[in-house]
Structure 1
Amino acid sequence: MTLQQWCFSFRGRLGRRDFWIWQAAWLLMLVLLFTLAGNNLLDTQTAAFCVVALMWPSSAVLVKRLHDRNKGGQWALLFILAWMLMAGHWSMLPGDAQWVVGRFIPTLIMVCMLVELGGFAGTPGDNRFGKATQAVIFLRRRTPDYQ
């Protein structure tokens, strides 16, 4: 799999190693963006634009990893649900319900999804989403042309 397929295509399957590589790269990019924006070295709107631009490759990696687990891409909507619950204003709920709906449930969803996608092996061999996983080729070795 090429870097372009890894980051931009929703087709195919992706193994755990490449999923975790993306998660680490994504986390580093976010830390860098927020550090630069927090120190006024980068405009906040530019940082927000970069975060939005990272949503497509994040979604592509997530969906391909779900495909490797033989699950459809619609399962990725659980992350959106978790984000919406976490971003909601739940003061209208009584007592501990605010914490349960606004913090506990979203955290539970995210942890379960990360364990599912990052901890469990994909289906062996071919499945309904394609052939067995192929590692991402990060650096292409050039072979000399002998003519």
Structure 2
Amino acid sequence: MTLQHWCFSFRGRLGRRDFWIWQLCWLLMLLLLFTLAGNGLLDTQTAAFCVVALLWPASAVLVKRLHDRNKGGQWALLMVVAWMLMAGNWSMLPNEAQWLVGRFIPTLIMVGMGIELGGLAGTASDNRFGKPAQPVVFLRRRMADYQ
């Protein structure tokens, strides 16, 4: 799999190794953006634009990893639901319900998705989304380098 396919295509399958590499890269990019914006070295609107721009590759990696687990991309919407529940204002509910809806359920969804995507192996053979996951080629050497 090419680097371009890894970040921008929603087709195919992605193994755990490349999923975790993306998660680390994504975390480092967000950390850098928020650090620069927090220190005034980067405009907040520019940082927000970069975060939005990172949503496409993050979604592509997530969907391909779901495909490796033989699940459709619509399962990725669980992450959106978890984020919306966590960001919501649940003050109209009693204290216990606020905690349940605003913290427990989103945490349960995220932990479940974390185990599903990052901990469990993909299907070993072909599934409805294609052949088994191929590793991402990060550095492609020219043939002259091997001679």
Query: Which TM class, normalised by the smaller chain length?
Result: over 0.9
1:1-147, aligned counterparts within 5 Å?
Answer: 1-144=1-144
Instruction: Write the letter of the residue equivalent to 2:36.
Output: L
Q: Structure 2: any 5+ residue segments left out of the alignment?
A: none
Name the TM-score, length of structure 1 as normaliser. Answer: 0.97
For residue 125 of structure 1, report the CA deviation from its aligned partner.
1.3
Deviates more, 1:62-71 or 1:101-110: 101-110
Q: State the 1:95 CA deviation.
A: 1.4
Please state how far the C-alpha of 1:69 moved relative to its aligned partner: 0.2
* Distance in 1 (alpha carbons) for counterparts of 2:57 and 2:103: 26
Looking at structure 2, the residues matched to 138 and 33 of structure 1 have their Cα atoms a distance apart, in angstroms, of 23
| CA shift for structure 1 position 60 | 0.2
Over 4 Å off, 4+ runs: none
Secondary structure of the corresponding residue to residue 144 of structure 2: coil
Quick check: which one's helix share is greater?
Answer: 2
* C-alpha displacement of 1:23: 0.2
Q: What is the alpha-carbon distance in structure 2 between the residues aligned to residue 136 and residue 19 of structure 1?
A: 10
Q: How many residues align?
A: 145
The worse-fitting range, judged by mean Cα deviation, of 96-105 and 2-11 is 96-105
TM-score when normalising by structure 2: 0.97
Q: CA RMSD, aligned part only?
A: 0.9
How far did 1:76 drift? 0.2
Q: Could you say what secondary structure the match of 2:95 adopts?
A: coil
CA distance in 1, matches of 2:15, 2:101: 32
C-alpha separation in 1, matches of 2:113 and 2:138: 26
For each residue in 1:52-96, what CA deviation from the matched residue of structure 2 results, as whole angstroms up to 9, or x when unmatched?
A: 000000000000000000000000000000010011000000111
- Write the distance in 1 (CA, Å) between the matches of 2:58 and 2:90: 28
Q: How far 1:104 moved relative to its partner?
A: 1.1
